[in-house]
Structure 1
């Protein structure tokens, strides 16, 4: 499947006055909502959707500023607002109980949602939380040089402007365990979705999420320490950014959790090891 075929699987829904791209497998099964990572999109899940949808009604949207969703130029792109959009979308779809699966950037949206859940601010029951490859413990993360440059308010805009697909491809390949597992077509699709609808003009704004992980550290890590929701931590052993130490730390802190290791996979396990990763998610 390519990015254009993925688009045909979804629909566009207006949430808080912004157009959001959503893939919804529908049906009457348990609901799995997915919060995708940075700087990619819901397309990351094209290989695993057939596996996940055997058990779940899967709902996955492109966050504002990503993929096929709207990419406004004058917008904060705060993770707080990304959480607002996710919650409003699920409400629009009349979802009342979910399993939340979050990867990378999406894990911080998830922790904001958990903070609200802990404070009884949601009309949504979260049955289970699944966390994958997220640098919530930002102090333990091994950020790439390009991430550091993009999150900086002085260098971010310039780096976004001069970034090329060659640089992008190299950075994505470097965070795979086995770079031969990603095809040229997949890289082309990822780049197409990043650039789609003026995406490069907002990538430096999206990158501020790293700064928010420091700013809201106590709120978000505190939410995980306080939650009563059963949490599954699914972590590749060879993620060079969200390193193993982060998963170990989460395993120590979250009251009711299960840590599952995925061997020989990197930062995008749903693309690199789709069957093995899906088995752990569905375990």
Structure 2
């Protein structure tokens, strides 16, 4: 599927004076809301959406700064604000009961939402939490060299400007278990979405989320330790960034959880191994 075909499936919704791209598909009474990862977009789910939509009404939006959503330069790009946007979107869509699925960057947006949920600050009921390959335990993550550069306050902007598609393609292929599972066309479509709305100009600002994972560690890991939401941890065995140790640590500390492993798969399981990943999510 091309990026333009994906764009034609969704719509722009105004949230806090920002245009947010939203996919809303499926007619089930049950609702699945998805928070995507970095530096990609809701497009990560194009292979699994048809099957998920047989079981749920599926709502995926592009965070501010990603995909087809607005990419303002004068914006904090804090994970706190990304949580505000997600919650406001769900409120405008009048959602009451949801399963919340998050991957990568989205897992930290999810933990901020769980923190507020634990304090009875939300008017939405989270029936289940599904966490996939995210570096919430940032102290255990194996960050790529380019991630370390981009999050730097001094050199991040210049690294963002100099990053080209060759560098991007190489870095994405390295975080697959089987790099032959991602086609050049997919890489082209993902790169086009990063560049959409002058997105390369803000990519270093997006990368500050890594610093926030340290700063808000106690708030967000504390939220997981205290939550009563039934949680499913769906993790791959060969993610070079969000390594197995993170899943094992989450399994130890989240009160009511089950851990499901996806073998021989890297950081983007919904793209690399979509059928098996979907089975685990739905199981």
The question of whether the paired residues in 1 share the 8 Å contact of 2:104 and 2:134 is answered with yes
Asked whether 1:93 is paired with 2:93, we answer yes
SS for the counterpart of 1:55 is: coil
User: Counterpart of 1:260 in 2: which secondary structure?
Assistant: strand
**Residue aligning to 1:143:** 143
Are 1:210 and 2:210 counterparts? yes
Corresponding residue of 2:11: 11
Q: Which residue number corresponds to residue 167 of structure 1?
A: 167
| Root mean square deviation of aligned Cα | 0.5
The whole-number CA distance in structure 1 between the counterparts of 2:28 and 2:227 is: 27
* Residue aligning to 1:275: 275
Which residue pairs with 1:47 in the alignment?
Answer: 47
TM-aligned CA deviation for residue 29 of structure 1: 2.4
User: Aligned partners of 2:225 and 2:75: how far apart in 1?
Assistant: 31
In structure 1, the partner of 2:256 is 256
1:54 is paired with a residue of what secondary structure? coil
SS in 2 for 1:140: coil
The equivalent residue for 2:64 is 64
For residues 51-79 of structure 1, the C-alpha deviation after alignment (integer angstroms, 9 at most, x for no partner) is 11111000000000000000000000000
User: Which secondary structure does the structure 1 equivalent of 2:53 belong to?
Assistant: helix
Tell me, in whole angstroms, the C-alpha distance in 1 between the residues paired with 2:53 and 2:198: 32
Whether contact under 8 Å (2:28, 2:55) holds in the other structure is no
Cα distance in 2 between the residues matched to 1:279 and 1:18: 35
Query: Deviation per CA, 1:9-42, whole angstroms, max 9, x where unpaired?
Result: 0000000110000000142420000000000000
1:37 aligned counterpart, secondary structure: coil
Deviation at 1:207, TM superposition (A): 0.1
Name stretches of at least 5 consecutive residues in structure 1 with no aligned partner.
none
Structure 1 consecutive aligned stretches of length 4 or more whose deviation exceeds 4 Å: none
- How do residues 221-240 of structure 1 correspond to structure 2 at under 5 angstroms? 221-240=221-240
Q: CA deviation at 1:260?
A: 0.1
Q: Using the alignment, how far apart are the partners of 1:163 and 1:237 within structure 2? A: 29
CA distance in 1, matches of 2:19, 2:27: 24
TM-aligned CA deviation for residue 182 of structure 1: 0.2
Q: How does 1:49-198 map to 2 (within 5 A)?
A: 49-198=49-198
Equivalent residue number for residue 220 of structure 1? 220
Match of residue 34 from structure 1: 34
SS in 1 for 2:128: strand
> C-alpha separation between the residues in 2 aligned to 1:149 and 1:235?
26
Q: What's the TM-score once normalised by structure 2's chain length?
A: 0.99
Q: Describe the SS at the equivalent of 1:122.
A: coil
Query: In 1, Cα distance between the equivalents of 2:42 and 2:75?
Result: 21
Show the counterpart of 2:247.
247
Which is worse superposed, 232-241 or 24-33?
24-33
Instruction: Report the Cα distance in structure 2 between the residues aligned to 1:2 and 1:233, rounded to whole angstroms.
Output: 30
